[in-house]
Amino acid sequence: SQTIHQWPATLVQPVGSPLSLECTVEGTSNPNLYWYRQAAGRGLQLLFYSVGIGQISSEVPQNLSASRPQDRQFILSSKKLLLSDSGFYLCAWGRYNQPQHFGDGTRLSIL
């Protein structure tokens, strides 16, 4: 069966520090991968998606970037975090015309 792992679960970072969140999928190959951000009590906003190694599409302009160095690995990064980057980040995998499956999320707090 397919599983998705996302870490860390919780992260507290100072303003201006770098960020790296990692997501890996097991049990499937060539998945579509997605990063979402969820503000407190709000819906999910799609940040990036990837349909293959090295292929990244950004949905909204922001301080973050994403990379897909391997087929089942998706990384969310920032060189310098802003206060506005705080939130709950979710990674998901899916296929065309199929529901997405989500990781457990990372709660990011910027101080």
Partner 1 sequence: AQTVTQSQPEMSVQEAETVTLSCTYDTSENNYYLFWYKQPPSRQMILVIRQEAYKQQNATENRFSVNFQKAAKSFSLKISDSQLGDTAMYFCASMDAGGTSYGKLTFGQGTILTVHP
In the complex, the residues that contact partner 1 under the rule CB under 8 A are 32, 34, 41-44, 46, 49, 51, 57, 88, 90, 92, 94-102, 104-105, 107
Q: CB of 61: closest distance to partner 1 in angstroms? A: 16
The DSSP string of 11-64 is EEE-TT--EEEEEEEES-SS-EEEEEEE-TTS-EEEEEEEEETTEEEESS--S-
Q: Which is nearer to partner 1, 9 or 82 (CB)?
A: 9
Q: Supply the minimum distance, in Å, between the C-beta of residue 91 and partner 1.
A: 10
Closer residue to partner 1, CB minimum distance, 11 or 51: 51
Q: Are 33 and 100 in contact (CB under 8 A)?
A: no
Residue 14 or 97 with smaller CB distance to partner 1: 97
